[in-house]
Amino acid sequence: MQHLIRNSRLEDDIKDTAILHRIRNPLQQPFDIDDPVKVLSVEIYLGLDDCSQKTYDHFRSALLRCPPHLELLSYCVVKSYVENLTGIFSLRHDCCVNSCMAYTGIYSELDKCNYCNELCYEERKRRCKRRRVPRKQSTTIPIAPVIQAMQRSTEGSRAAEYRATATRQALASLQETNGELEKISDYIHGKDYLEAVVRGDIKDEDTCLMFSIDSAQLYASKLSDCWMFIWVLLDYAPDVRYRKTHIMPAGFIPGPNKPKNVDSFILPSLRHVASFMGQHEKLKIWCERRGLYESKLYVVFGAADGPAMTYLNGTVGHSGAQGCRLYCPLKGRRKPGGSHYYPACQLPPNYSVPNCTHPDISLRNAILDSGEASSHYYANLERLLNASTQREYEKIRLETGICKPSLFGGFPADCFLGIPGGFPADIMHLTGPNHHELFFDLWRGTIKCGRDDDESSWAFAVLTGDVWTTHGAAVASLVSYLPGSFDCPPRNPAEKINSGYKAQEQITHLYEYCVALLYNVLPPAFYHNFCQLVRGIRLMYQREIRPQDIEEAHEMLLTFSEDYEDLYVSRHPDRIHFVCQSVHSVNHMPSETERIGPYTTYSQWVMERAIELIGRQLRSHVHPYANIAERGLVRCRTNALRAMMPTFNETKRLPRGSMDLGGGYALLRAASADLLAMTDLEAQSLSRYLEDEGIEQSDYFRLNMRVHKWARALLPSQQVACSLWAEEGIPIGKLRMARNVRLDVDKIGIGEVQYFFTLKVNGSLAALAIISLYSEPDTDLLEYSYNTLYSCMHVEPPRLVVVQVTSIMSVVGMLPHPQRNGPHGRDLEGRFFLVKKLGLEILQMAGIHEEVAEE
């Protein structure tokens, strides 16, 4: 169906002439509502976004009873009014009752499903007449009216200029530094995007988009999957584009069955975007600052998790001979008698499986750059399309790893980042479910054992019996030491690993806890191999990545993959399945970061966020799929209206009694009403601070150091740092300890906040904190663990320092090492290991943070 994308026009799916006219002739005047009752109705409608119609009606009735007896617009009227204001609408497409396919494009004339033969329509009697009605429908929400509405206000259009401004800055920086950026922090720093800008494919006035698709389970207790796809507006800054006000649902595929032809469902959405790619017309946008201008739509990425990506890129998936989703030339191998291919690089001895006996592959030479991969892909696609028989098609599919043309290939070459380059890997599923399941299957010895293999020879299977039970208990005991800002603390894996262990739990458990908990459990060679992976992944999870970080991660991850196969597989043919695609995929992460920016900027976290936001608004449980599609449409309209009229936006307010320090910092209650005395050690640390700052101290002040104490502080990361003064006395079982912080003073250190306080210095009020520093990390452990195990001790007597609150970077966990329970390494009992929240920046960008409670 590529030709339907290539030759698309706006009229292909939109038949209403009034809608067509409005899209092509957007309103050219500032947005305003002059009726105060309408303003109030709309504002209440937006404020009750997560509530039901019943709640709005109750609120309306209450206002009507209370003087001056305001009569708000009814729910249906205000909903229709918002629809008219934004111009955002949905399209309904008939689809198979079993969700196999949608009757769109080349299937639009069918009256029954190609896959299950179910009829498309059924006859229903209504008012003595029999009518044909579709048995099920899917929903598409066209993006053009959304883009027009989002940029109509001055604030909205200014926010959308981020990409153009940041691009100019990146190009200027490249000229100054001879082609190397100081850091990579967004997709605009990627080589492919910048080359597209230099070629003239992307201009300042163009609109950049990311398409993302995934399945969503509406109910935990029954089969209720549906599929959702969204558009992400990439012209906005990362801390804006991933928030709920900018997540734009694009369509819904009803469930509960898995679709068999996803292309037929997403075709209308992609065709709508393609109609504004300059082939026939561009999208007209009016804003108060710039007036009317034309914008070409450019699709930068098509994003999905591993299984769903096969629908977008048209490849065979992870189990094929060419299973790498980035289309590198690494060819897989099968176990004897198996059909599933694995990216094993080493050729086992006496191995004669057909199509798998190629020599050893060097990972350092196997990865193509994007240009080579693209030309390789299109040459192979041409071979596939020229197949004259089914047998020839299957043979070429096996050789090339391509099973069909991608719909995205119908986009003009100057409007899409390309295939496979425009389909990035997903860091959330790769490092969460994929790695967690693989390694714990290995370490627990639960991975499938081949016929000619022997489980007793698995030196890596150490988490068995009492060791596994002890590990689970150790994980459970650490919950109280993990700050509340870490969201889901890992639960006891010995009890919960097979019952809904969440992605964030898996990431924290594997990449933060296990470095310490497996230090003296895994044999040294396997531990070193694991630490190489952890080091590389932690570097790749950064929001801002320096060239030297990419270089280090490249070496760490390549060495990990090479050693992994030596250690776990040892050229044993019955262990080839140990080499999953997730082991191979990490090798692409450094080069992909250089090519298209950090993985955090195009991860599926944003898709998961959209599913959560819209799924929790589900109201009708009789018709859940139609209802969730309606909630997605309402989400688009409310987001657009907030952008059109920024006064409707929610304003963040600090809790009562807080002290705003600027820059995202604030002191939070509780606070002492009176001046409280400092201990001698605390007074000495304050005197040193004032002396270092060049501030004179009177004799009276030295003898009577009293300060106003504060319990908590809000940080720019939206984490809340607590203090010993606030948490002391709370039973450990009822605590989520949040008083350990990273400091940016002289060099980065870790300390425990004793309390925050304010002090008048030279006539102005200073916000400070007393910090008890931990010892320097054990250098032997750091070296042994490739800089992943940061282990410290409490210092006696305490090493107290006074710092400005604004020098606190983030809240971290300092977790006690467990008692020695393994045969390897030193006994670390009494020490504490550092845990940072991996992916904190991603959640910040999405606006996900812990609630700031009133005290």
Check residue 128 and give its pLDDT. 63
Cis peptide before 354 (omega within 30 of 0): no
Token look-up 């179910």 returns 118
Could you tell me if 334 and 576 are in contact, meaning their C-beta atoms sit under 8 angstroms apart?
A: yes
Report helix angle 589-596 to 547-564, nearest 10.
150
DSSP β-bridge partners for residue 431: none
Q: For 387-399, what is each residue's pLDDT tens digit? A: 999 999 989 988 8
Handedness of CA 513, 515, 518, 520 (dihedral sign): negative
Average pLDDT over residues 663-684: 90
Local structure of residue 666 (DSSP, 8 states) = E
| Phi, psi angles (nearest 5°) of residue 247 | -85, 115
Local structure of 466: helix, strand or coil: helix
Contacts of 556 (CB under 8 A, 6+ apart): 532, 533, 535, 536, 539, 786
Q: For 203-215, what is each residue's pLDDT tens digit? A: 999 999 999 999 8
Q: For 217-235, what is each residue's pLDDT tens digit? A: 888 777 778 999 999 999 9
**Three-state secondary structure of 796-830:** EEEEEEEEEHHHEEEECEEEECCCCCCCCCCCCCC
Average pLDDT over residues 554-577: 95
pTM of the model: 0.93
Q: Does pLDDT of 124 surpass 80?
A: no
Check residue 371 and give its pLDDT. 65
Is pLDDT larger for residue 312 or for residue 854? 312
Check residue 279 and give its pLDDT. 85
Local structure of residue 663 (DSSP, 8 states) = T
Question: What amino acid is encoded at 20 in this protein?
Answer: L
Length of the chain: 855
Check residue 209 and give its pLDDT. 96
Check residue 364 and give its pLDDT. 78
Check residue 764 and give its pLDDT. 82
Check residue 443 and give its pLDDT. 97
Number of H helices, E strands in the chain: 32, 25
Q: Does pLDDT of 368 surpass 60?
A: no
Q: Does pLDDT of 523 surpass 90?
A: yes
The conformational region for residue 66 under phi > 0 = left, psi -120 to 50 = alpha, else beta, is beta
Q: How would DSSP label each residue in 579-648?
A: S-HHHHHGGGHHHHHHHH--GGGG-THHHHHHHHHHHTT---SSSHHHHHHHHHHHHHHHHHHHHH-GGG
Q: Does pLDDT of 845 surpass 70?
A: yes
CA angle, 634 then 640 then 646, to 5°: 125
Question: With bands split at pLDDT 50, 70 and 90, how would you rate the model's confidence at 616?
Answer: confident
Average pLDDT over residues 482-493: 89
Contacts of 278 (CB under 8 A, 6+ apart): 296, 412, 415
Is pLDDT larger for residue 763 or for residue 401? 401
Check residue 833 and give its pLDDT. 96
Minimum mean pLDDT among 97-106, 482-491, 733-742: which range? Answer: 482-491
Question: What amino acid is encoded at 702 in this protein?
Answer: R
Q: What percent of the chain has pLDDT over 90?
A: 59
Minimum mean pLDDT among 70-74, 362-366, 470-474, 629-633: which range? Answer: 362-366
Q: How would DSSP label each residue in 702-720?
A: HH--EEEEEEEEE-TTS-E
Q: How far is C-alpha 795 from the geometric centre of its chain's CA atoms? A: 38
Minimum mean pLDDT among 65-79, 254-268, 696-710, 833-847: which range? Answer: 696-710
Could you tell me if 38 and 46 are in contact, meaning their C-beta atoms sit under 8 angstroms apart?
A: no
d(CA 636, CA 229): 13
Local structure of residue 29 (DSSP, 8 states) = S
Q: Does pLDDT of 678 surpass 70?
A: yes
Check residue 414 and give its pLDDT. 93
d(CA 717, CA 409): 40
- Arithmetic mean of pLDDT over the chain: 89
Question: With bands split at pLDDT 50, 70 and 90, how would you rate the model's confidence at 852?
Answer: low
Check residue 848 and give its pLDDT. 65
Q: Does pLDDT of 824 surpass 80?
A: no
For residue 496, count other CB atoms closer than 10 A to its CB: 16
Q: Does pLDDT of 698 surpass 70?
A: no
d(CA 368, CA 643): 42
Q: For 780-789, what is each residue's pLDDT tens digit? A: 999 999 999 9
* Joined tokens for residue 497: 């690993």
d(CA 155, CA 162): 12
Q: Does pLDDT of 700 surpass 60?
A: no
Check residue 296 and give its pLDDT. 96
Q: Does pLDDT of 439 surpass 80?
A: yes
CA distances from 460 to 530, 558, 648, 788, 789 (A): 11, 20, 57, 20, 20
d(CA 306, CA 215): 12
Check residue 655 and give its pLDDT. 87
d(CA 720, CA 853): 10
Token look-up 């080579």 returns 372
Check residue 847 and give its pLDDT. 65
d(CA 788, CA 590): 18
Q: For 749-776, what is each residue's pLDDT tens digit? A: 899 999 999 988 777 888 999 999 999 9
Q: For 165-193, what is each residue's pLDDT tens digit? A: 999 999 999 998 888 899 999 999 999 99
Q: Does pLDDT of 403 surpass 80?
A: yes
**338-375: burial string, b at 16+ Cβ within 10 Å, e else:** eeebbbbbbebeebeeeebeeeebebeebbbebeebbe
Q: How far is C-alpha 349 from the geometric centre of its chain's CA atoms? A: 42
Average pLDDT over residues 100-120: 93
Q: Does pLDDT of 748 surpass 60?
A: yes
Check residue 375 and give its pLDDT. 85
Q: For 252-307, what is each residue's pLDDT tens digit? A: 999 899 999 999 999 999 999 999 998 889 999 998 888 999 999 999 999 998 78
